[in-house]
Structure 1
Amino acid sequence: MIKKIIIAVLGLSLIGCMGPSLEERRKQFGEVMDYWIGADINRYIHSMGYPSDTRDLPNGNKLYIFQQASTRRTPVYISPTTTTITPLYGGGATATTTGGHIYGGNMVTDSCTKYIETDPSGKIVYWRAEGNNCY
């Protein structure tokens, strides 16, 4: 089973190199998470890291919350400048410059929160993920 987990994790790490679509990456993420259904939560924690939080549920199950977030700056673009020179009657000229506007450079937070529910014995029974970076 460990080999299967390692293969699944390596497969996810290669996703960025192969260039599948966002929809395909999300599907693969779901398949990997589905793979963990029935597995022991301690194996998941050993493989993926410690949860950010845990909660006891009214039905006796336990909820593990794994939060990941990172902040990045979007690329900065500068529109091209154009200078137009207009000759003036009697000599001289006027110059008009347009463009040169700066776009981008915004801060964006990429996040994914995974909710993993286990039964009282620690077996994973359900998962859900929220965020713009769950793949």
Structure 2
Amino acid sequence: MKYFLKLSLFSMALLFMQGCATHQKFVNKYNAWVGQDINDLIKKIGYPDSTYILPNKNKVYVYERSRIYTYPSMSIGYGHWPYYHGGYGMYSYGSDVVQRTCKLYLETNKHGIIVKWGSRGNACVSN
């Protein structure tokens, strides 16, 4: 019972911390970078994971983030099973695995100015 209570409190704390980060804040953050120099962004968030040149000679900077989380889980089922000698209930413990990813693309012109950006993934959020 103590384990379940601790697990519940931990899960609630994680939910509250995740509640502050939203996709809309992420969009607003990178919309504000359009028209800015890519070097200023690199100074702020670090070097990109990769870059490539487009056919129009613009350069794309790619930032990738991927995390795998495991959450303990418990399943409870109710029902009568004759082999339990009249007992009810069934408990199962395990874990759920979730992969959270975000890939950020920043396109710059020949002067290093960010002209547009895009993202893919299920974890593109910002505080």
Structure 1 and Structure 2 fold alike (TM over 0.5): yes
Please point out which of 97, 114, 119 is paired with 1:124.
Answer: 114
Question: Unmatched 5+ residue regions in structure 1?
Answer: 1-15, 85-93
Please point out which of 95, 99, 104 is paired with 1:105.
Answer: 95
For residues 49-105 of structure 1, give each alpha carbon's deviation from its aligned partner in whole angstroms, at most 9, with x where no partner exists.
111100011101000110001111023114277899xxxxxxxxx343531133x51
Residues 106 and 118, structure 2, Cα contact 8 Å, conserved in 1: yes
Residues 76 and 89, structure 2, Cα contact 8 Å, conserved in 1: no
Higher-RCO chain (CA-CA 8 Å, sequence separation at least 6): 2
Cα pair distance change 1:56/1:106, threshold 3 Å: same
Cα pair distance change 1:74/1:17, threshold 3 Å: closer
4+ runs of 1 displaced by more than 4 Å? 80-84
Give the number of aligned pairs: 108
Instruction: Give RMSD over aligned pairs.
Output: 2.6
Please point out which of 62, 65, 89 is paired with 2:62.
Answer: 65
Larger Rg: 1
For residues 21-64 of structure 1, give each alpha carbon's deviation from its aligned partner in whole angstroms, at most 9, with x where no partner exists.
x7xx2111101100000111111111111111000111010001
In 1, Cα distance between equivalents of 2:71 and 2:100: 12
Does 1:96 pair with 2:93? no
Question: Could you tell me the percent identity over the aligned residues?
Answer: 30
The residue aligned with 2:31 is 34
In 2, Cα distance between equivalents of 1:77 and 1:98: 13
In 1, Cα distance between equivalents of 2:60 and 2:34: 14
In 1, Cα distance between equivalents of 2:50 and 2:19: 33
Q: TM-score, normalised by structure 2?
A: 0.73
In 2, Cα distance between equivalents of 1:58 and 1:18: 39
Question: Unmatched 5+ residue regions in structure 2?
Answer: 1-15
